[in-house]
Structure 1
């Protein structure tokens, strides 16, 4: 059966377009073109591919570090899928080596499951003084044990994102990781601007949650943040209005030579789609006034999902909606070398997110028909 959908706005080929009709047959897109005088079966406000989130620590009450298993991954992805995210990189943060290894095996086992786009290993190869909520007991330089995990993942065809402090990594080991096809990201780092640029020259192509877990911008000591903004590297941002002030976020976007190389991440913890508290390294983490904090009140991850981030970035951050959607869809996929999700012939309706006029997630298109 054919169905004609008439979105007020449709994300097509990297732009928001008005006046289109999206025709479906057997649950898949057949065409997307001018609606003209045709009478649609359904009108919606905005139709876009589901978001891709490159930094998902948890969701639905599950922390990946605490449950590095296919079942844990499924629960985390289900929580985010229920909020409009189509694909995720389950993210394992600094922990004992066997936790990283278990997380890698879990992602290999879950690789063919819907919406599992790879793995993000955030730490343990970070700067101790920029570890944030990461456990200092497990921080260590990049080593052969991690290289073995990276090799295992890449041999299994799993896309891998590795966040580390490049100034603390052996350049030869960095080169080996890059040669495996691992996407290297500078984060939780005290790198100077010069050290950051050297890392970009050696194959680091990304920066993790800009401004967070790195030295602040300083007019005589620009550091990693300034080097990242002025580089061609892909740059991630947490769009909750808490981790980065909106003015600083707009400043970074305006200063970039390649503003299209910015993307957003949730940095979500188990409270997203789950209870308002969980345990990390044996310590209670809870939501207070929309902030996810530990007992001392320090930030410990984020309590936001991707489409809420899109809405906040646009409505509170003042960023054009077209840019916000690109930062949640096309940009993160391009940063990881993943093919884009497009509203094009063959696309399943179940991968297309519908947003209402308030930019809230209204549901997946197939469930609204």
Structure 2
């Protein structure tokens, strides 16, 4: 059965098209056509008139947790369902669950959970991001130093599994050789650089070996200085994709503006680096042998170290538009198309286009999130004046089943 939706305006190939009919079949866009030119049969079959601006669903390549769950603490498929549903309510229709530095057993458990999600054709989970443990002690952030290590054969075997969807690995090039980077890339693994104190020349060699991205630009990496360009300088100079956390805690708005003017929307992508707090009311959540506390829009450990974010992708987009003065069309590209291209999933998501998944969000004239669609089905709808925690779903039973909210998790206290 084909569903026809009449939309007020839709973003297609970076341009706004007014009064379009989106035809969707089996969760895929089958046709996009201007209302005056579709057949009378299609007009008669229009099931809904969507007011507002329709944009591609958001794609987040760095999601540590959500809905009260941290992937490291409970590396199970049930946890992944909770995380995905928590972020879906904020417009993230595709995500890469992210496992930060941990022991090898947890890495393998996480890989098995991702394998289950991929085998189950989970609508939102496209792969996995292993952020560490092959990082720099000097730029470890909240990653535990006791787990930071060289990349072993056992880890290589996990990262190169063919049942995990797309695999992304963040490494520090001073801790991982160019030969290892080449081997990872030869197996289809995307290698990003981050949590590194490497000098510019070491970073350049890693890029030459196949590294294609940078994890949370400016944060936990060797800075750009007058005599040493560092990792930041290499990231800004090379044609590589840089994730950036636009929560106004990790990066100053003017620094984001500089990065945008240097890289542009095709090489700068929005990420959340979200912890379990997103989509949860908890202010304090366990984290390995300590805890992370939310104060306003900031997450810290007891010693004051910045610990990921409570940012969601719609918040990242609106911060970019409202505070950095990035055009909505460009911010949408940074939130959807650019991460899709970087993650090698652009053949099926990242744009509103024929043949791609009908994942999209609807914004009103103030860029407030109003509706979220996943594979052509409305998952969330918000009334005027809603808060980020107010969910008005057309089918609450289906969403509860999708999300797994309320599922128990084995938190590591």
TM-score bracket for this pair, using the shorter chain length = over 0.9
Match of 2:98 among 81, 91, 101: 91
Q: Using the alignment, how far apart are the partners of 1:184 and 1:355 within structure 2?
A: 34
RMSD: 2.1
2 CA distance for matches of 1:66 and 1:194? Answer: 37
Find the partner of 2:184 among 170, 173, 177. Answer: 177
Correspondence for 2:18: 19
TM-score by length of 2: 0.83
Q: Give the match for residue 203 of structure 1.
A: 210
Kept in 1, the 8 Å contact 2:179–2:209? The answer is no
Determine helix, strand or coil for the equivalent of 2:293.
strand
5+ residue gaps in structure 2? 382-393, 395-413
Aligned partner of 1:315 in structure 2 is 322
Structure 1 residue matching 2:306: 3-state secondary structure: coil
Measured in 2, the distance between the counterparts of 1:141 and 1:28 equals 42
What are the superposed Cα offsets for residues 53-81 of structure 1, whole Å, 9 maximum, x if unpaired? Answer: 10000000000000101111111001011
Q: Secondary structure at the match of 1:130?
A: coil
- In the alignment, structure 1 residue 73 sits paired with structure 2 residue 74: no
**Can you list the C-alpha shifts for 1:2-25, whole angstroms capped at 9, x where unaligned?**
6442224x1212x13142312346
CA drift of 1:174 comes to 2.1
For the pair 1:356 / 2:364, whether they are aligned, the reply is: yes
Distance 1:211 1:360 in 2: 28
- 1:95-110 alignment to 2 at 5 Å? 95-110=102-117
2:31 equivalent in structure 1: 31
> 1:301 and 1:75 mapped to 2: Cα distance?
18
Of residues 359-368 and 79-88 in structure 1, the stretch that sits farther from structure 2 once superposed is 359-368
Q: d(CA) in 2 for partners of 1:209 and 1:18?
A: 33
Compared CA separation, residues 346 and 183, structure 1 to 2 (3 A): closer
Cα distance, 1:95–1:233 mapped onto 2, change above 3 Å: same
| TM superposition score normalised by structure 1 | 0.92
The residue number in structure 1 matching 2:248 is 241
For 2:95, what is the secondary structure of its paired residue?
strand
Per-residue CA deviation, residues 239-276 of structure 1 (Å, 9 max, x unaligned), is 112111111111112123x6512111111000000122
Partner SS for 1:119: strand
| Contact 1:207 1:235 (C-alpha < 8 Å) held by counterparts | yes
* Structure 1 residue 340: Cα displacement: 4.6
Contact 2:168/2:191 (CA < 8 Å) preserved in 1?
yes
The 10-residue stretch of structure 1 (113-122 or 173-182) with the greater mean CA deviation from structure 2: 173-182
Residues 1-54 of structure 1 deviation map (CA, whole Å, 9 limit, x = unaligned):
76442224x1212x1314231234667645323345999852422111211110
Deviations 1:315-351 (A, max 9, x none): 11111211110011111011011125232346565x2
Of residues 258, 265, 268, the one that matches 2:271 is 265
- In structure 1, the partner of 2:352 is 343
Structural mapping, 1:104-143, within 5 Å: 104-111=111-118, 112-143=121-152
Structure 1 portions without partners, runs of 5+:
none
Give CA deviations for 1:94-142 in whole Å, capped at 9, x if unaligned.
0111111111111011112111110000011000010000011101122
**Aligned equivalents of 2:186, 2:56: Cα separation in 1:** 31
Instruction: Tell me the CA shift for residue 228 of structure 1.
Output: 0.5
Separation in structure 1 between the aligned mates of residue 217 and residue 29 of structure 2, nearest angstrom? 36
* Distance in 2 (alpha carbons) for counterparts of 1:110 and 1:2: 27
Please give the alpha-carbon distance, in whole angstroms, between the structure 1 residues aligned to 2:136 and 2:340: 27
Q: How many residues align?
A: 363
